[in-house]
Structure 1
Amino acid sequence: MVTVPASTLDHYRRFSRYNSPYPAHDRGCAIDLYPESNRGISPVAGEVLDTRTVGAPSRPYAVPEDHLVLVDTGEHIARILHVDPAVIPGDTVVVGDSLGEMVRSGFFAPWVDNHVHLGFREPGANPYRAAGSLPVDIDIDVRPLDWDGTGVVREAGETYVVLDEPVHPKPGTWAGLAGGRGVVLDGGYPHYDGGGVLPGADGPVSVVGARAGVADGRHVTWDDVSLSANGASITGLSLFVARDADFGAKLVHPDHDFAVGDRVTVSVSSE
């Protein structure tokens, strides 16, 4: 397991280990980091070993190619994706350096913001394969935010809306949607296969007062449920950890007809 320290996470406004459908994130073996701007901020220090351009799934909202940047940290090989590299092999980088501009890749869903994907391999392991990264841990305290499922639409994109609740009580510190007493949920609920819980738990976890799934350590298996907003079915919730003041529940649904100012109530139903 590789621990990402608090000093590294301070360069980003949000992160998620589980909010992805791709195998690289299985069981928290990668972390997506969201900078304040579109600069691909390096989360590691070391020597750039290689950069590679790869084809990405074809999506109308995305560029046709993505990029892999490999950095030797001295202990592990870091795999960084979704950044058009402005570095070359042999360059030395430190945490906080710009590796280049982030790209909007078909490897993530249209409701996901541009981000830096980070995973780690043992020296000698194949760093080019998508699967095989080490589990990622984090070294921060995270505040659980209770939420009753209600709020007013603050932002409306084509495939999602963001509500004004729950409110981040202390921007600059880390917080996420509570999954029960003392724990925060991470992932795509329930539209991705599983999620995560911080700092870890065993037993049922919940969303808006309804059981959401079962935690086993830091991993969560979602129950077979569906979500609705004002009685209409939606795809799910994007769950992440954030320290910016714009925190709010993010409802995912490509066919929504909500507008800024609408009052919304989210509910959970068993299938």
Structure 2
Amino acid sequence: MNVIASCGKVKIYRCKTNYFSLFNSPYYAHSYGGAIDIYFLDEERVFPCLTPGRIVGIRTVKAASMKKFYHSDFDYVTLIESREDPSLIVRIMHIKPFVKEGEHLNVGRPVGEPLRSGFFDPWTSLHAHLEIKTPDYAFRAKGSLPIDLKIDGEVEGEAVEDILFRVVHVNDFFVLVELEEGCTVRLGEVRGLGVKIGGSIGILDCGFPHYARGGVMLAQGSKVQLGDQVKLGGLVIGRVNGFIHNGARVLLEKVSLECEGVRLRGISAFLSLNEKCLMKLIPLKGEKVEFKKGEIIRLEFNKEGFR
């Protein structure tokens, strides 16, 4: 069974998992790779157990939001005592649990169904949020341990300057797009949007530029240093301000984005284990979006602001 991430002896296994992210979120644990989000972009509606253990706690928390989109006023925190390391707790959020406290779970066992939490932004897709903690921090916002992604292999592909997408779906909050094959970079089994970083090429993982920070996944031995520029489409979009086990942390620049004249708040770039590399384009409020399914569109940059 494939392992997609780990923290010490605790492993997170791939089970109906095609899209995930360490950095595409405004919340603190995502600022240093202390949480992983597992996305439901292919309409999967049941979240399977990704790490074996025993349910030791379930708590309902308020998640009311003033943001104008349909959402649940409550969220759920589910705690799993790891079978691989009983001294650690796997904390799951944004999943309404089917399971009960005391139950033992194997990988693949249904845990619950995803819900649209009030903690989300309007453009946020359904996902499960996982953190690994010591018991003292299980119900606290901080104290998440760094998560290492299982990324092996060399980089395949180039960080191209002409970035093209194929439109998959359009709704009121975002445009779901597939990154065209020639724009895709592969690192082991992981695929995504390629960037130049220092003397290397990596895969972008972030909400750019709206979350102001993000990450880049790198091959072992990549030549990257603190302060190195990160370039997307030939434009500097950020600089390296730290490192994780298999990547770099990045502070993002303020860059204006457009797609075929549609002004964007930003793009959501995450990591794919699928042949398809799906991403999201987030239009600015009030923008008229008339893209059609299957249409090829181009990402444009404007560092001086919108025209």
TM-score (norm 1): 0.88
What is the one-letter code of the residue matched to 2:113? Answer: E
Which is further off, 135-144 or 48-57? 135-144
| TM superposition shift of 1:105 | 0.9
Number of the residue aligned with 1:43 = 50
Greater RCO, 1 or 2 (C-alpha within 8 Å, sep 6+)? 1
Number of the residue aligned with 2:122 = 110
- Identify the match of residue 216 of structure 2 among 172, 197, 202: 197
Number of the residue aligned with 1:131 = 142
Number of the residue aligned with 2:3 = none
Identity fraction in percent? 31
Indicate yes or no: 2:232 matched with 1:207.
Answer: yes
Looking at structure 1, the residues matched to 110 and 9 of structure 2 have their Cα atoms a distance apart, in angstroms, of 18
What is the one-letter code of the residue matched to 1:2? Answer: C
Indicate yes or no: 2:301 matched with 1:268.
Answer: yes
Looking at structure 1, the residues matched to 279 and 150 of structure 2 have their Cα atoms a distance apart, in angstroms, of 24
Secondary structure in 2 aligned to 1:129? coil
Which is further off, 84-93 or 22-31? 22-31
| Partners of 2:176 and 2:281 within 8 A in 1 | yes
Q: How many residues align?
A: 269
| Partners of 1:166 and 1:249 within 8 A in 2 | no
Which is further off, 188-197 or 139-148? 139-148
- Identify the match of residue 250 of structure 1 among 277, 280, 296: 280
| TM superposition shift of 1:262 | 4.3
Number of the residue aligned with 2:32 = 27
Looking at structure 1, the residues matched to 48 and 55 of structure 2 have their Cα atoms a distance apart, in angstroms, of 14
Residue deviations 1:3-57 (CA, integer Å, cap 9, x gap)? 6988713540110011111223221110001255111222221111110111113
Q: Runs of at least 4 residues of structure 1 off by over 6 A?
A: 4-7
- CA gap 1:88/1:22 in 2 versus in 1, 3 angstroms: same
| TM superposition shift of 1:270 | 2.2
- CA gap 1:38/1:4 in 2 versus in 1, 3 angstroms: farther
Secondary structure in 1 aligned to 2:195? strand
| Partners of 1:150 and 1:264 within 8 A in 2 | yes
- CA gap 1:28/1:111 in 2 versus in 1, 3 angstroms: same
> What does 1:60-209 correspond to in 2, within 5 Å?
60-73=69-82, 74-123=86-135, 125-141=136-152, 146-147=159-160, 148-167=162-181, 173-180=189-196, 181-199=200-218, 201-202=224-225, 203-209=228-234
What is the one-letter code of the residue matched to 2:281? Answer: L
Unpaired runs of 5+ residues, structure 1, are none
What is the one-letter code of the residue matched to 1:105? Answer: S
TM-score (norm 2): 0.79
Residue deviations 1:102-157 (CA, integer Å, cap 9, x gap)? 1111212222221111001124x221112221111111237566452233423212
Looking at structure 2, the residues matched to 141 and 104 of structure 1 have their Cα atoms a distance apart, in angstroms, of 33
What is the one-letter code of the residue matched to 1:95? Answer: V
| TM superposition shift of 1:84 | 0.7
Looking at structure 2, the residues matched to 6 and 177 of structure 1 have their Cα atoms a distance apart, in angstroms, of 26
Looking at structure 1, the residues matched to 152 and 289 of structure 2 have their Cα atoms a distance apart, in angstroms, of 37
Looking at structure 2, the residues matched to 151 and 269 of structure 1 have their Cα atoms a distance apart, in angstroms, of 18
Secondary structure in 2 aligned to 1:182? strand
| RMSD, aligned α-carbons | 2.6
| Partners of 2:206 and 2:270 within 8 A in 1 | yes
| TM superposition shift of 1:248 | 3.7
| TM superposition shift of 1:251 | 1.0
What is the one-letter code of the residue matched to 1:32? Answer: D
Looking at structure 2, the residues matched to 249 and 128 of structure 1 have their Cα atoms a distance apart, in angstroms, of 31
Unpaired runs of 5+ residues, structure 2, are 1-5
Looking at structure 1, the residues matched to 36 and 91 of structure 2 have their Cα atoms a distance apart, in angstroms, of 11
